[in-house]
Structure 1
Amino acid sequence: MPWVGSWVRSWVRSWVGATAVGPGGAPGSLPELSLPELSSPPPGPGRSHRVRLVLLAQLVLTALLAVTLPGPVGHAAGGAGSVAGERAGGGGGTGSRGGAGGGPGIRPGAGRAWPVGGPGGLVARFEAPPTPWAAGHRGVDLLAAPGTDVRAAAPGVVSFSGLVAGRPVVTVTHSSSGAPPLRTTYLPVTGSVPVGTTVTAGQVIGQLAPATGHCAGRDCLHWGLLRGERYLDPLALFGGGRSRLLPLGRDR
């Protein structure tokens, strides 16, 4: 601040007087403080008094400037901006992980097909058991007559086709659906394509076998959805069901 320097200089001149001589020899200017050479004779009393006054004035001026002048504003603003940027970046890093979680992990309704019929044939929904090993309905049931073509609900690869506990089952594994990948199961279905076949949504994978007693004497398809050993609601593939995680167990 200019007024601080002017005030200090006026105060120093009132103490030092007009005889103070600076490095350029101009009367009334602040002299530059310098230490005498070791070989020089000690300064006289008058000069020592003036040197002490000049040193005191410079110390006062330095203290006043340190108190009144602002700090490095540009650096402080930059620091605050950096912190805000880091926080914003941290928030952006918390995005969705897609299929890595317990849910379906693939967009509902994109490349999907009802295995048989449509939603009108739904006779039993997915039901979570009250305890892990209690009775529950680990899938959905769709009415259909024996011999009806059963289609893949989503694109994937046929990973199993055979008997499980005496019932014919077809399993399709859906890649790019998270880790572990999703699997859809269809029973009782007699497979019509070999294991390892890549299928698209709606492609026929087998035919419905005669009733096994699962639907109380009616013919139906039991359709399941799993991730690893956890059962999910197959209707979540269409966005119409909630994903419920259940331990692997015997289907009701």
Structure 2
Amino acid sequence: MTTTTANTVTTVPRLAAALLATALSVGLTTVPTAAAPESPPGTPPGSAPAGNHLRPVPGTVLAPADIPDQNWSPGHRGVDLDAASGAAVRASAAGTVRFAGVVAGTPTVSVDHGGGLRTTYEPVLAQVRVGEQVGRGQILGELADHASLPGTARRDPGLHWGAVLGPPAEDAERYIDPMTLLGPVQVRLWR
């Protein structure tokens, strides 16, 4: 038999607040939730499925995305993730390698995930070929040593991970923050 009193009902929010305060005092750690299912066929471009991607490297965010309103405006079209030279760089989700080569001195790999979504990884020395099917978490290559790249190459530390959504045409594609592809995080508390 269960009885509910006004005191019990008000105790639950107080308990939740106490747990949150304890968590904040001892520190929080976030971990990704389970992968969401792939979007159903016919999902319109412009609605990227969240949750089915993983970080290409485990490092923290060194520089967040600053996606401009227009593709030609200044901004940071992706995130920079902390990683050391030689680190394995993995595909954030399954797809087809669309590009594996050098752009302005920067070794780059790009993966087409279907539905108008493409992710880009740089500077990455490719271990995959154009047209190759890759699985979620499969190694695409290794992070290049920034010091060994030519002067025209990207010089920011870590891995630059970008994402584009939409059909490849002038002004049809739009950059998105790739961190939104990871989906929600689950907060776990421990000491």
TM range (shorter): 0.5 to 0.7
Shift in Å at residue 213 of structure 1?
A: 5.2
Q: Supply the distance in 2 between the matched residues of 1:134 and 1:116 (Cα, whole angstroms).
A: 28
- Of 134, 143, 148 in structure 1, the residue corresponding to residue 82 of structure 2 is 143
Which residue in the other structure is 2:58 paired with?
117
- Structure holding more strand per residue: 2
**Alpha carbons of 1:133 and 1:148: their partners in 2 closer, same or farther (altered >3 Å)?**
same
Shift in Å at residue 101 of structure 1?
A: 3.6
Shift in Å at residue 97 of structure 1?
A: 9.2
**Alpha carbons of 1:127 and 1:98: their partners in 2 closer, same or farther (altered >3 Å)?**
farther
RMSD: 2.1
Q: Supply the distance in 1 between the matched residues of 2:94 and 2:58 (Cα, whole angstroms).
A: 18
Bigger relative contact order (CA 8 A; separation at least 6): 2
Amino acid paired to 1:136? G
Matches within 5 A, 1:142-221: 142-175=81-114, 178=115, 181-211=116-146, 212=153, 214-215=155-156, 219-221=157-159
**TM-score, normalised to structure 1's length?**
0.49
- Of 139, 147, 163 in structure 2, the residue corresponding to residue 225 of structure 1 is 163
**SS of 2:130 mapped into structure 1:** coil
**Alpha carbons of 1:163 and 1:114: their partners in 2 closer, same or farther (altered >3 Å)?**
same
Q: Supply the distance in 2 between the matched residues of 1:214 and 1:189 (Cα, whole angstroms).
A: 13
Shift in Å at residue 125 of structure 1?
A: 1.0
Q: Which runs of 5+ in 1 are unaligned?
A: 1-95, 241-252
Residue correspondences, number? 133
- Compare CA radii of gyration and give the structure with the larger one: 1
- Structure holding more helix per residue: 1
Identity, in percent, stands at 47
Q: Supply the distance in 1 between the matched residues of 2:45 and 2:117 (Cα, whole angstroms).
A: 11
**SS of 1:236 mapped into structure 2:** helix
**TM-score, normalised to structure 2's length?**
0.63
Matches within 5 A, 1:228-247: 228=168, 229-239=173-183
Shift in Å at residue 196 of structure 1?
A: 1.5
**Alpha carbons of 1:203 and 1:97: their partners in 2 closer, same or farther (altered >3 Å)?**
closer
**Alpha carbons of 1:153 and 1:134: their partners in 2 closer, same or farther (altered >3 Å)?**
same
**Alpha carbons of 1:233 and 1:210: their partners in 2 closer, same or farther (altered >3 Å)?**
same
**Alpha carbons of 1:213 and 1:162: their partners in 2 closer, same or farther (altered >3 Å)?**
closer
Shift in Å at residue 133 of structure 1?
A: 2.9
Deviations 1:31-80 (CA, angstroms, capped at 9, x unpaired) = xxxxxxxxxxxxxxxxxxxxxxxxxxxxxxxxxxxxxxxxxxxxxxxxxx
